[in-house]
Structure 1
Amino acid sequence: MNICVFLSAADLDERYTTPARDFATRLGKAGHTLVWGGSDTGLMKVVADGVAEAGGRLVGVSVDFLAAKARPVADEMLITKDLAERKALLLARSDAIVVMVGGTGTLDEATEILELKKHAKHTKPVVLLNTAGFYDGLKTQFRRMEAEGFLPIPLSDLVFFAEDGAAALAYLEETVMR
């Protein structure tokens, strides 16, 4: 399975890097391919290292203005002209999406993927990995959107909230590989 992971390229605290490495190791050991933003910095590097060390494949999709930060060794490294092309290619190359901790770029990617799913432009499972309660506020907001009629489909059809990497991967394997 090709799993797209949206996440931060920032250097982060152990409470985020340790669970990220655990998820990456699980992904690699299961023989899955990581499809990610291609960066060799911060949390992106932690996840790519974990997947590669565990035997998984790496497909990076960087953008021209960040190409200098791209991982030098990957199974594939694609460079796009802009962020819109990057997001489209990340989605096209994946069977499922996992949103890990991140900043505005990660949130932008996540909301676009969810909006496309809401409008049936893709049917790929989306997991929001809520490491250390990072997305508790967003989870509450999504529930409010559903309760107040802002979502035309059930929240459970839009996104799966996982508290750890084991739950995220189990959900994806059950959903995609059945």
Structure 2
Amino acid sequence: MTKSVCVFCGSAPGVYEEHMGAAVSLGTTLASRGIQLVYGGARAGLMGAVADAALAKGGRVVGVMPQALERYEVAHRGLTELIWTADLHERKRKMAERSDAFVVLPGGFGTLEEALEVISWRQMRIHDKPIVLVDTRGFFQPLVALTESVVKHGFSYARADALFTVVSQVEQILPALGFEPTPRAVAE
């Protein structure tokens, strides 16, 4: 059962409001289902939005921030728990250890690197945790195409669709992680 989800996403807001909307919706969804959010610890961009939304709904939010990044990704000081690490490698290891699944929202090169690392770890059987890419506005289509090319050219022992799931809407994330849809209220 998934009790804690690691979310990789940008420390910038991006230019499309759909990206910010997805971050807010994801934070709200996780908190409303009692799922702990583990993320990079920044207060800005999509990172800050997903954390603030979860906190606003009473969710537990764990941020993991490397000391060296604090000047670029200003740490969110209102989290349930903020863990400081020596470097990015320790950050990613701690985030993975504290999570049962990974969800990737749009972001920059750091987000892509984090996503590719957990995908690689899954291929190498270092973990078997679900990975969901949220393809807002087609953001991950080039990565999906590249992944298919890696498989086609024989550089992956696993099929791409076995390593991660791609969804287009936040509402599809929890079912992709094995959760039943949220029960609807019955009219009296």
TM-score range, shorter chain: over 0.9
Q: Does 1:25 align with 2:45?
A: no
Residue number in structure 1 paired with 2:68: 65
1:140 is aligned, of 145, 154, 158, to 145
Residue number in structure 2 paired with 1:173: 178
Q: Name the % identity.
A: 35
| More displaced stretch, 165-174 vs 51-60 | 165-174
TM (norm. structure 1) is: 0.93
Residue number in structure 1 paired with 2:186: none
Residue number in structure 1 paired with 2:17: 14
Q: Could you tell me whether the CA contact under 8 Å between 1:38 and 1:62 is conserved in 2?
A: yes
- Structure 1: runs of 5+ lacking an equivalent: none
Q: Distance in 2 between matches of 1:169 and 1:14?
A: 22
Q: Distance in 2 between matches of 1:60 and 1:104?
A: 19
RMSD of equivalent CA atoms: 1.4
Q: Distance in 2 between matches of 1:11 and 1:161?
A: 21
Residue number in structure 1 paired with 2:157: 152
Instruction: Look up the SS of the partner of 2:62 in the other structure.
Output: strand
Q: CA deviation at 1:22?
A: 1.3
Q: Could you tell me whether the CA contact under 8 Å between 2:4 and 2:35 is conserved in 1?
A: yes
Residue number in structure 1 paired with 2:169: 164
Q: Distance in 1 between matches of 2:145 and 2:58?
A: 36
Matches within 5 A, 1:11-160: 11-12=13-14, 13-67=16-70, 69-160=74-165
Q: CA deviation at 1:110?
A: 0.8
Q: CA deviation at 1:159?
A: 0.5
| More displaced stretch, 21-30 vs 139-148 | 139-148
- Structure 2: runs of 5+ lacking an equivalent: 181-188
Q: CA deviation at 1:38?
A: 0.3
Instruction: Look up the SS of the partner of 1:74 in the other structure.
Output: coil
Q: Could you tell me whether the CA contact under 8 Å between 2:20 and 2:46 is conserved in 1?
A: yes
Q: Distance in 2 between matches of 1:174 and 1:16?
A: 23
Q: 1:173 to 1:55 in 2, by over 3 A?
A: farther
Matched residue count: 175
Q: CA deviation at 1:24?
A: 1.6
Q: Distance in 2 between matches of 1:18 and 1:11?
A: 10
Q: Distance in 1 between matches of 2:169 and 2:34?
A: 19
Q: Could you tell me whether the CA contact under 8 Å between 1:67 and 1:79 is conserved in 2?
A: no
TM (norm. structure 2) is: 0.88
